[in-house]
């Protein structure tokens, strides 16, 4: 297992899931992907996370992001757990959960952190771009459930900054003003960002979000 860093190719794999065998690259096609791990089936925080993820699926779809969850239990266990998730979270789990019983994928993606827990995965999040490289990695401990609004927010930032020479400032939300890349001088920035450029400092230039 090699360390995966931002910009690296996302390791491809084929694994069984709650929706049958899945090959990562085929599943992603030419879209974006989010791969997120859960410590184990039938655990409370994971149950709320997967229910929430299911309710957010339309938002991920809108952004052309394929969802793929993972837990180190088997397909039969996932099937029973999904019934509980649907019942308790009032939703329908509508994306695959990898059955990583042999820990092949969690090892490949360094999702087991032995000093936290030597057998269960932590809550890893990998966002993968259409070029199959890793665009974002976040790691939460088992005791902290993820904020799916934040995951959509970072995807909005990644998708904006992939196509425009801007970066998103602290606490940015879709629609807010953005920062112009330091690689563009202010004279050029004024030609590119026709909605306006505010130069607060030579290195700090703001412009309305270019893609709305
Ligand atoms: C949970 O999902 O609730 C959980 C899983 C492992 C350890 C702690 C909490």
DSSP classification of residue 133: B
Ligand 1, from 43, 73, 88, 119: best to mutate by most atoms within 8 Å of Cβ? 43
Tell me what pLDDT residue 31 has.
98
Q: What is the pLDDT along the chain (212 residues), one digit of tens a residue?
A: 679 999 999 999 999 999 999 999 999 999 999 999 999 999 999 999 999 999 999 999 999 999 999 999 999 999 999 999 999 999 999 999 999 999 999 999 999 999 999 899 999 999 999 999 999 999 999 999 999 999 999 999 999 999 999 999 999 999 999 999 999 999 999 999 999 999 999 999 999 999 99
**Which residue blocks in 13-147 are alpha helix, DSSP H?**
24-28, 44-55, 57-62, 75-89, 104-108
Distance, CA 40 to ligand 1 centroid (Å)?
7
Q: Is 43 in the pocket of ligand 1 (CB under 6 A)?
A: yes
- The answer to whether 24 and 55 have CB atoms below 8 angstroms apart is no
Query: Catalytic annotation on 46?
Result: yes
């Amino acid at each position: 297992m090699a360390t995966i860093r931002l910009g690296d190719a996302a390791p491809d794999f084929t694994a069984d899931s709650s929706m049958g065998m899945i090959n990562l690259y085929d599943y992603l096609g030419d879209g974006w992907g989010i791969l997120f791990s859960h410590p184990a089936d039938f655990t409370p925080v994971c149950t709320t996370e997967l229910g929430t993820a299911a309710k957010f699926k339309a938002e991920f779809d809108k952004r052309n992001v394929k969802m793929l969850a993972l837990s180190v239990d088997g397909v039969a266990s996932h099937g029973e757990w999904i019934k509980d998730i649907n019942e308790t979270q009032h939703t329908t789990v509508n994306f695959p959960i990898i059955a990583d019983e042999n820990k092949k994928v969690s090892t490949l993606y360094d999702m087991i952190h032995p000093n936290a827990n030597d057998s269960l995965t932590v809550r890893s999040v990998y966002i993968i771009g259409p070029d199959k490289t890793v665009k974002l990695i976040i790691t939460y401990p088992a005791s902290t459930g993820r904020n799916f609004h934040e995951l959509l927010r970072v995807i909005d930032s990644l998708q904006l900054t992939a196509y425009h020479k801007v970066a998103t400032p602290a606490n940015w939300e879709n629609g807010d003003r953005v920062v112009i890349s330091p690689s563009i001088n202010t004279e050029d920035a004024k030609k590119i960002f026709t909605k306006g450029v505010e130069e607060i400092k030579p290195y700090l230039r703001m412009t309305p979000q270019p893609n709305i």
